[in-house]
A and B are shown apart, each in its own frame.
Chain A
């Protein structure tokens, strides 16, 4: 039986898939999905001896968060029992990321929560537009190719791990930082002097914390750098002489 509103949902889905922003996102996401595929293979190779073949693949399919998955498996392999804490820390950056995304989303809580599931570091960052808004259709498009490649890569790593070498010997672990650097240097959201200051400050905070803070904490702490925006906002109170756009 069709639920009321289901036709509307289907129309919305069709219009999303036909939207130019979604298509642009998919195109931007394909090269990253290739890198994600290789990373998925390495996750499959690493996790299979720890959690078994089925759980490794199911984990990639329903968790879909690379850093949290690697972190959780590392804790399990070491016999630790703080898996949940590690997973929360390694995913915690999605809270500020989701808050930043939220004003660009419309519709009810369920719809917004569903769109939030499409957040991945690179697709979120690539969908950031000047002035703090987000192109959520672009984000979902960029995440689309990453999902099958992450899950498929995991499956191949699990099933054919012995045939595939260690991704680190190929230097593939340098791909994601290099990609994020390209996004940072060319992205719409990092234009302007304040963005440069926020990036330098965020990077410095992370660097200071990496040697001793638990994984995940350096990235979360770096969000504090965005607070320099408050100073700018304070100087642009209504009534102050400020014409035009923020510089």
Chain B
């Protein structure tokens, strides 16, 4: 049981420290032109990576399953109408569960 609590404590401390590190190290400082140009592109790069990892990633690497169909359906809806966020998300879940039921 104590191993579990050590893990919980360790997880909490690392999460706290990692989330605090960027804001403490660089907070309130005006960044140079190059740094700003890089930071501006972090959000799209990270979002795309999260989409890939959560669509085809599993605990043991690549895990191709029904999620691909769901996310592709969401992409279709969003291409048609950018603002249809909730419809796209609902369709992603619906298509994923349908494909799972059929396969």
Contact = CB atoms under 8 A, between A and B. Distances in A.
Interface of A: 31, 35, 51-52, 55, 58-59, 62-65, 68-69, 72, 74, 76, 83-84, 87-88, 91-103, 105-107, 109, 112-113, 115-117, 119, 121, 124-125, 128, 131-132, 168-187, 189-190, 194-196, 198-203, 205-207, 210-212, 215, 218-219, 221-230, 232-234, 236-237, 246
Given A202-B49, A218-B53, A116 B23 contact: yes
Interface string B88-103: 1101111111101000
Contacts of B10: 83-84, 87
B24 A109 contact: yes
28 contacts: A31-B86, A31-B89, A83-B11, A91-B14, A102-B25, A105-B23, A109-B23, A171-B67, A171-B92, A175-B89, A177-B50, A177-B67, A177-B74, A178-B88, A185-B79, A190-B47, A198-B44, A199-B45, A200-B48, A201-B45, A202-B49, A210-B56, A218-B52, A223-B49, A224-B45, A225-B48, A233-B34, A246-B40
Interface of B: 1, 4-5, 7-8, 10-12, 14-16, 18-31, 33-34, 36-57, 59, 61-62, 66-67, 70-71, 74-75, 78-79, 82-83, 85-86, 88-89, 91-98, 100
B12 A62 contact: yes
Given A184-B48, A206-B53, A68 B15 contact: yes
B35 to A, nearest CB: 8
Contacts of B97: 169-171
Given A99-B25, A116-B22, A174 B45 contact: no
A234 B15 CA distance: 35
B15 A63 contact: yes
Contact of B44 (A112, A171, A184): A184
Given A179-B85, A211-B61, A222 B46 contact: yes
By DSSP majority rule, is chain B's interface helix, strand, loop, or mixed?
Answer: helix
Given A169-B100, A182-B74, A226 B48 contact: no
